[in-house]
Amino acid sequence: MGLFDPGIDRHLIADQGEVVIDEVRKHWAATVSAALELFGGVIVLLLAFFVPPQAWWVPGAIGLAITAHASWRMLEQHMDRFVITNMRVFRVHGILSQRIATMPLARILDISVHKPLIGRVFGYGHFVFESAAQEQGLREIRFVGDPDGRGLTIQRVIQQSGLRGAVSQPVSARRIDAARAETARQEADRLEAERLEVERLEAERLEAERWATERADASRREAAASQGDERSVYGAWERLADARRREDERRDDLRRGDQHPTRPIEPFDPDRTSTAPIDLPR
């Protein structure tokens, strides 16, 4: 194991029986741009032999920088490995600082293979994973040689691990299920909104009926109170008129008594009472 070896074996869980099914290196097409950059850097270095002696360091420094950058890029592609085991898939990349992204087979929802036109010609493609590990460096694996065969390898490993549900369901079926779930949720929200609206209208109707009943009761009480007041006032006037009538009658009796004085009744005197027998006719 050298400095520029990613060391795949030391990342395996050997005590759990994990073995490497396939170790995917970058396709050579991934290093084409770095190789062209390296070639350009060499040409710039060679220009140092065709410039004046006083300026040879200018193309030399530029060419050396270009060559170093191109070599770094090529080494970076060499250190980038995608590994398929019987338990998981993981990616190891990095030169000085190494980064590892791991995803269990059970979390793989779907694998999409994108092959551009030039990739179909030279036999490479890009893996796109649908999973919960999209933020861990396994969202997209680029420049995979023989992408169809390696995609089948991943699916075969998943099938053999008993995790058929993760890849047996097509993406379209999952999208249909998701759409149905979303439709059901929207329908439930709509029904809940309608129920709340009906309850609100019913509450408003009951409140309006209660308010109307209270107003009607208040109106009846006011009418009864006004009628009672009228009766009490009318009764008071009748009593006053009756008292005045009785007073007038009493005054009339007094005036009639003054005009026809009556004979005073003499007091009873027993000495003047005759005790002679009364001769009654027979």
Confirm if 65 and 38 have CB atoms less than 8 A apart: no
| pLDDT tens digits, one per residue of 158-215 | 888 776 544 444 545 666 777 888 888 888 988 999 999 999 999 998 998 888 888 8
C-alpha span between 104 and 60 (Å, rounded): 49
Q: For residue 240, is it within any domain?
A: no
pLDDT of 58 = 92
Q: For residue 156, is it within any domain?
A: yes
Mean pLDDT in residue range 104-129: 90
- One-letter amino acid for residue 113 of the chain: V
**Which residues span the domain enclosing 137?**
9-171
| pLDDT tens digits, one per residue of 33-89 | 999 999 999 999 999 888 888 888 999 999 999 999 999 999 999 999 999 999 999
C-alpha span between 233 and 244 (Å, rounded): 17
- CATH number of the CATH domain containing 22: 2.30.29
Q: Is the pTM of this model over 0.75?
A: no
Across the chain, what does the average pLDDT equal? 82
Task: Output 92 or 248, whichever has higher pLDDT.
Answer: 92
Chain-centre distance for alpha carbon 139: 27
Q: For residue 25, is it within any domain?
A: yes
Q: For residue 39, is it within any domain?
A: yes
How much of the chain, in percent, has pLDDT values that exceed 90?
37
pLDDT of 255 = 79
Name the region of 94 (left: φ>0; alpha: ψ -120 to 50; beta: rest).
left
C-alpha span between 167 and 83 (Å, rounded): 19
Q: For residue 136, is it within any domain?
A: yes
Buried b (16+ CB within 10 A) or exposed e, 154-183: bbebbeeeebeebbeeeeeeeeeeeeeeee
Mean pLDDT in residue range 134-155: 84
Q: For residue 191, is it within any domain?
A: no
Q: For residue 152, is it within any domain?
A: yes
Mean pLDDT in residue range 258-273: 54
Burial class of residue 3 in the structure, from the number of CB atoms within 10 Å of its CB (0-12 exposed, 13-18 middle, 19+ buried): exposed
Q: For residue 201, is it within any domain?
A: no
| pLDDT tens digits, one per residue of 217-229 | 888 888 777 766 6
Q: How many CB atoms lie within 10 A of CB 111?
A: 21
Structural domain count of the chain: 1
Q: What φ, ψ does residue 268 adopt, rounded to 5°?
A: -75, 130
